[in-house]
Amino acid sequence: MIEQSRRRVPVPVAVAAVAILLAATAILLGAMSSTGPSTVVGLVVGLLVLALAYGLWRGSGRARFWTTVFATAGAVYAVVPFTGLGVTTLLQIVVAALVVVLLLVPASSRRWFHDLPVTE
Give me the pLDDT at residue 100, please. Answer: 95
* Regions of the chain short of the pLDDT cut 50: 117, 120
Write down the pLDDT at residue 63: 95
> Looking at residue 78, what is its pLDDT?
80
Confidence at residue 3, expressed as pLDDT on a 0 to 100 scale: 59
Q: What is the pLDDT of residue 51?
A: 94
Q: Are 96 and 74 in contact (CB under 8 A)?
A: yes
How high is the pLDDT of residue 98?
Answer: 94
Global pTM value? 0.82
Residue 114 CA to its chain's centroid (Å): 18
Contacts of 99 (CB under 8 A, 6+ apart): 16, 19, 20, 67, 68, 71
Question: In this predicted structure, what is the pLDDT of residue 81?
Answer: 72
How far apart (Å, rounded) are the C-alpha atoms in residues 77 and 49?
17
What is the pLDDT at residue 4? 57
Answer yes or no: are the C-beta atoms of 26 and 91 closer than 8 Å.
no
